[in-house]
Structure 1
Amino acid sequence: MDQIRSQNFPIKSLDDWIEKAELSLKGRKVESLQSNTYETITLKPLYTREDEKPVSNYPGGTDFRRGIDPLGYLINEWKVAQRISYETVGELTQKLEDAFKRGQTAISFEVSEEVVPHLSELPTEIIQNYPFAINSKWYQAALLNNLAALSIDGTQLTGYIANDPIALFAEEGVLTETVFKEWSLDVMQAEDHFPNLRTILIDTTPYHNGGANAVQELAIAAATGVFYLEKRTEDGIEPERTLSKMIFQFAIGSNFFMELAKLRAARILWNRISELYRAEEKARGMQIAAVTSSFTKTVFDPHVNLLRGANEAFAAVLGGVQYLHVEPFDQLTGSSPFSERIARNTQLILKEEALLQKVVDPAGGSWYIEALTTELADKAWALFQAIDAKGGILEVLKTNWLQQEIAAVFAKKRIDIETRKQSIIGTNVYARPDETALYKTSLHDKQNKNIEAIPQRRLAEPYEKLRSKAKKLAEQKGSALTVGLLCLGELKQHKARADFMKGFLSAGGIKTVDSPPIGTVAEARQYLTELPSPFVVFCGTNEQYEQLGHKLLTTLKPEFPKLKFFLAGLPDKENQSQWLADGITQFIHVKSNCYETLAGMLEEWEVTFDESQQA
């Protein structure tokens, strides 16, 4: 034991690590392991002490990146603010009471026109004993007025009932500046009745759902916050008073470390801005409400949303939020008591079993996270200055500049999903073509727009539309849509590419019909004669393609002129022209645009069915 205890490992340098890494990379440089994010940040494969950033020894100090409370959640736990779904006020009351018994710690629900007049029916003990966590949208004045009419001590109401008119303008495409006069009056009146209630929301969720990256979300949050500070300053309200009424809402996406760093960077930005307004340090800490992203969720294979939601909630907690809502895994098709319970319990597991409320800033000091936080903050500050130079948040929305910037980022995200560079489990990879689901689009169109609305999208929607279309076509056809796989040689020779094609086609709800092992033209002819599909894909090794594939194609193409032949894999450039000349329609490989290929097949099926019905 003494020998083991006294044993030392030699100190290795970064150069030593690079040397070993490049040996395993077989000639490639270690720089090939770098990756680029949608925020135009280059992530290194390894972060070391050289990347260390100076940070406060504890949360609540310096730039607030480590949180706003010195002891983190030990003294102020984050609030479990699950938005309660309901149809009647009675159901809302019952579900709230039940949720509080089961771990909910904030009053949260989606505001509707029906519930506002009946808010007084909520039990007084709930209103007085739990903080609110409500995005009141256009119902803020009505909500606050109904609360003011209750015979309760207004000083006991805490949390937030707040709205963000600018975010609503961006989402709806209708911008009306006269709204701000009423908004200012509502906020001032609420201060008299409810001095401890926050009423000014800065909501970046619509921009996140439109496809914005983390830098854009942070810059928009800063620009919106400054707009409201300026509005209130014009009304003679000092900055500290306005800051005490503000709360920021962020949607948390699937990039764990980026989302964690986003929340830390948000506090840095806001501390810098509030310092410029000469606010005292105690007023500069940013209050954050987080929601797990709907942008990342899927209609198909919804149980995978459980993992997505848990990952996003974990990032939010480590990022230091004050309120958190975890979206139920089947929210897109209508949540159930079971899914709502699981969503709430996700937070309780993080709190009670993972013990995250007992560790003060567990991410603090990580070389990677701190470096990423600093770079995010710097890039977001530069974009915030660009927005300010263009006249502020309202002006960049009026000119559609901001909408175009977000659309450009979304276009990059979409092409990565279409080409499967980025995976969506159960949607563009590992999809189950037999699965049925109620598809409904999240896109909406409002009339009387005077600015370009930011569409509320989800990454999975293009493939979900394909699956919906495939289902309708299958119903017209009376059987599932299928593509033939012409499997050359033995199983071990064609299996890899056949499996690839099955996964590729299943993303569009298309099944495959595998041939028996094919070694001759006669065997292939027999298979094609019985094939109930207009499409067939060659699957085999490169050697088999050259030895047998050309012969099969040139012989069978004239015999089956209505069939379209595809090749699984990408031949060398010098061989591609010959395959195309022989009759191959397209090469399908790992870099193919999966979405466009599947959409093209479905369009051809659609035309075929339309022609057959007309005939």
Structure 2
Amino acid sequence: MEKIKSQSFALKTIDEWKEKAEASLKGKTVESLQTTTYEKVVLKPLYTKADEQPAAEFPCGSDFRRGISPLGYRTNEWKAAQRISYQSTEELTEKLHQSFEKGQSAISFDVKKVLFKGEEILVNILGDSYREYPFAINAKELQTAFLTAADRLEKHNQMSGYIGADPIALFTEQGLISKEFFNEWVKNIQKTSGKFPNLRTVLIDTVPYHNGGANAVQELGISIAEGVYYLEKLRETDMELDEILAKMVFQFSIGSNYFMEIAKLRAARVLWNRITELFGAKDEVRGMMIAAETSTFTKTVHDPHVNLLRAGNEAFAAVIGGVQYLHVSPFDEQTGTTPLSERIARNIQLLLKEEAHLKKVIDPAGGSWYIEELTNQLAEKAWSFFQQIEARGGMIEVLNSNWLQQEITDVYEKRNLDIQTRKQSIVGTNVYANLDETLPHKLLLKEKSLFSGGEKIDAISARRLAEPFEELRSKAKILEEKLGSAPAVGMICLGELKQHKSRLDFMKGFFASGGIKTIESNPILSVEDARQFIAQQPVKYLCLCGTNDQYETIGHEILKGLTSEFHEQIFYLAGLPEKEKQIRLTNEGIKQFIHIKSNCYETISTILADLEVNTIEKTKA
């Protein structure tokens, strides 16, 4: 053992590492390993001490990137703020008080109109819980009603946490800007400030932008622009700067890019420190209070248990990034939660606290060459985006002009294309889809925020990355019910198993992502073998599957024989031969070459649309 302990390795230079790396890359350079994110940040394959960035020695120092508390979670744990779902006030009362026994450490639930149908309903639901636990509530358009009801609580001045609302976020969701609503909101913030001295009421909610497809730079720039807008509007009242800052809380949705999300939260504090410093705020009020939730944008209806991994990864990033409140979405949130899924979601936070011991570590990301560099890049790019918003007149003006909506749409379309072409994977949806899975017939509909009057704008619609493929699966299921059998593509497997297996497996996964089954032939060695297979399996869509050599040796003959006999069938080919060979195969009847760079969504959508038309025509006939 002593011999092992005393062993050492010779120091290597970065140039030596590059030389070794490029040898394994077979002629490619190390730079070819660089990737560009949706934020247009170039990620290097290796970060070294040369990338080291200056940072404060402890949290709460310098620009607050390392947190707003000197000892981090050791003295100020993040609050488990699981939003409690409910259908009645009785259910909410029961679940709320049970949740504290099970690890919940903040009062959090969706605010519905039913809570205000009687004067004492909210009082009875809360009981004495507000004296022990902080609130973590986005009250949306019902904030005034909530605070009015909360005013009836005994010792309501002891309430802490946040009961916030973000008018601009509501405007983007509804596609309507109401100056009347905003002016009333400003008055209410001012009026309730003294009544609830320890309660934050000004929420900057970036979740609608995240769910619309925004990247981290856009989320950060928007959050700072909104923060500045509210600061300026509230300062027009008689509220002091310190008082306003003590009322503000920022809410972020945490996506799937682990390191990017950690850096996003750190960069948010850097940016807000810069803004508040420019406004002349004191050090002690410049720290950003952050509430976070795991992303809805990344979750799926299909194979929902994979959402556990997604939510766990996102929650981990949120905690490492230094949030104060956290909600983890249950894995089946899109179709209606169960006691089990709610318990697991809450327990993810407890595991991070008690078993991963994250509450005992002060800023574990601090000093990471990669994360610190990423933090700086995000902060600078987000500052530039914020300046673009301000140069165009601020948040309201960029929404009125549709500039912001278009910027977010551009990013979403890039994300969506990567999902459609499977450059980015969604396990259980566009890769490794399980066609035997039992699916719910409809998604859970959530109560929408509504207010009348105002100026119309283009709304930023909430989306999920998986939705296009979920729609294909739904369409395939409807066709299956109409046709009596699932939509299918026949696979003409050339040669022995070892010759066609790799491409066969690829094609099975490709079509399964859109709800289409594949019917495999026995090894096909001649035109007659292929004829027999089609006669036994009369499907409209067929795909030749084999090696490039087989396409040249027996593929042309088989293809010519089949296309001359089966005029109604449509033929595909697995793979992408050389250009000259593609021309010949196309002339012989191949409609499309399906390969790793193909647009999976468009291909399957075309097949299902064709089947749908044929079904309608048969029904009419």
TM-score w.r.t. length of structure 2: 0.97
Separation in 2 of the partners of 1:505 and 1:445?
A: 38
Separation in 2 of the partners of 1:111 and 1:3?
A: 65
Give the AA of the match of 2:190: M
- 2:562 equivalent to 1:556: yes
Q: 1:512 to 1:178 in 2, by over 3 A?
A: same
Q: 1:123 Cα shift?
A: 4.1
CA-to-aligned-CA distance 1:373-396 (integer Å, 9 cap, x gap):
000000000110111111111110
Task: Give matches, 1:446-595, under 5 Å.
Answer: 450-595=456-601
Secondary structure of the 2:162 match is: strand
- Tell me which residue corresponds to 2:42: 42
Contact in 2 for aligned 1:433/1:508 (Cα 8 Å): no
CA-to-aligned-CA distance 1:519-553 (integer Å, 9 cap, x gap):
01111111111223100000101100100001001
Contact in 2 for aligned 1:135/1:163 (Cα 8 Å): yes
- Tell me which residue corresponds to 1:135: 138
Deviates more, 1:520-529 or 1:131-140: 520-529
Secondary structure of the 1:585 match is: strand
Count how many residue pairs are aligned between Structure 1 and Structure 2.
Answer: 614
Separation in 2 of the partners of 1:390 and 1:35?
A: 31
Contact in 1 for aligned 2:106/2:133 (Cα 8 Å): yes
Separation in 2 of the partners of 1:532 and 1:477?
A: 13
CA-to-aligned-CA distance 1:563-590 (integer Å, 9 cap, x gap):
1010000001121100000000100000
Secondary structure of the 2:518 match is: strand
Separation in 2 of the partners of 1:492 and 1:271?
A: 61
CA-to-aligned-CA distance 1:92-134 (integer Å, 9 cap, x gap):
1110111100000000000111113421112432121110000
- Tell me which residue corresponds to 2:151: 148
Task: Give matches, 1:227-266, under 5 Å.
Answer: 227-266=229-268
Contact in 2 for aligned 1:154/1:195 (Cα 8 Å): no
Secondary structure of the 1:332 match is: coil
Q: 1:29 Cα shift?
A: 0.5
Separation in 1 of the partners of 2:538 and 2:368?
A: 57
Give the AA of the match of 1:130: Y
Secondary structure of the 2:250 match is: strand
Contact in 2 for aligned 1:310/1:346 (Cα 8 Å): yes
- Tell me which residue corresponds to 2:202: 200
Separation in 2 of the partners of 1:496 and 1:148?
A: 67
Contact in 2 for aligned 1:116/1:139 (Cα 8 Å): no
- 2:30 equivalent to 1:30: yes
- 2:107 equivalent to 1:107: yes
Give the AA of the match of 1:193: K
Separation in 1 of the partners of 2:353 and 2:127?
A: 28
Separation in 2 of the partners of 1:139 and 1:386?
A: 32
CA-to-aligned-CA distance 1:137-173 (integer Å, 9 cap, x gap):
00011100111022x1123100000000000001110
Q: 1:6 Cα shift?
A: 4.6
Separation in 2 of the partners of 1:470 and 1:2?
A: 64
Separation in 2 of the partners of 1:135 and 1:13?
A: 52
Give the AA of the match of 1:50: A
* Structure 2: tracts of 5 or more residues without a match: none
Separation in 2 of the partners of 1:465 and 1:445?
A: 25
Q: 1:189 Cα shift?
A: 2.1
Separation in 2 of the partners of 1:602 and 1:258?
A: 37
Separation in 2 of the partners of 1:589 and 1:185?
A: 60
Separation in 2 of the partners of 1:53 and 1:515?
A: 59
Q: 1:7 Cα shift?
A: 3.9
Separation in 1 of the partners of 2:538 and 2:381?
A: 55
- Tell me which residue corresponds to 2:410: 408
Separation in 1 of the partners of 2:6 and 2:71?
A: 37
Deviates more, 1:347-356 or 1:119-128: 119-128
Q: 1:442 Cα shift?
A: 7.8
Quick one: which of 356, 364, 367 aligns to 1:365?
Answer: 367
- Tell me which residue corresponds to 1:440: 443
Contact in 1 for aligned 2:170/2:449 (Cα 8 Å): no
Separation in 2 of the partners of 1:294 and 1:436?
A: 21
Quick one: which of 120, 125, 128 aligns to 1:122?
Answer: 125
Q: 1:315 Cα shift?
A: 0.2
Q: 1:440 Cα shift?
A: 3.2
Separation in 1 of the partners of 2:142 and 2:71?
A: 36
CA-to-aligned-CA distance 1:347-369 (integer Å, 9 cap, x gap):
00000000000000001100000
Q: 1:9 Cα shift?
A: 2.0
Separation in 2 of the partners of 1:3 and 1:599?
A: 63
Give the AA of the match of 2:221: A
Separation in 2 of the partners of 1:245 and 1:552?
A: 74
Give the AA of the match of 2:355: E
Separation in 1 of the partners of 2:97 and 2:4?
A: 59
Separation in 1 of the partners of 2:237 and 2:205?
A: 22
CA-to-aligned-CA distance 1:51-78 (integer Å, 9 cap, x gap):
1000001001000000000000000000
Separation in 2 of the partners of 1:146 and 1:4?
A: 68
Secondary structure of the 1:193 match is: coil
Contact in 1 for aligned 2:122/2:150 (Cα 8 Å): yes
Q: 1:441 Cα shift?
A: 8.6
- 2:620 equivalent to 1:614: yes
Give the AA of the match of 1:473: L
Q: 1:177 to 1:579 in 2, by over 3 A?
A: same
Separation in 1 of the partners of 2:130 and 2:461?
A: 35
Runs of 4+ in 1 over 3 A off after TM superposition: 1-8, 439-449
- Tell me which residue corresponds to 2:214: 212
Q: 1:174 Cα shift?
A: 0.5
Contact in 2 for aligned 1:427/1:463 (Cα 8 Å): yes
Q: 1:434 Cα shift?
A: 2.0
Separation in 2 of the partners of 1:208 and 1:223?
A: 15
TM-score w.r.t. length of structure 1: 0.98
Contact in 2 for aligned 1:59/1:70 (Cα 8 Å): yes
- Tell me which residue corresponds to 2:334: 332
Contact in 1 for aligned 2:83/2:108 (Cα 8 Å): yes
Q: 1:26 Cα shift?
A: 0.7
Separation in 1 of the partners of 2:426 and 2:365?
A: 27
Give the AA of the match of 2:269: R
Matched residues, percent identical? 58
- 2:293 equivalent to 1:287: no
CA-to-aligned-CA distance 1:498-519 (integer Å, 9 cap, x gap):
1100000000111111000010
Contact in 1 for aligned 2:511/2:604 (Cα 8 Å): yes
Give the AA of the match of 2:147: L
Separation in 1 of the partners of 2:326 and 2:7?
A: 47
Q: 1:445 Cα shift?
A: 12
Secondary structure of the 2:128 match is: helix
Separation in 2 of the partners of 1:72 and 1:344?
A: 21
Contact in 2 for aligned 1:441/1:461 (Cα 8 Å): no
Secondary structure of the 1:331 match is: coil
Task: Give matches, 1:256-335, under 5 Å.
Answer: 256-335=258-337
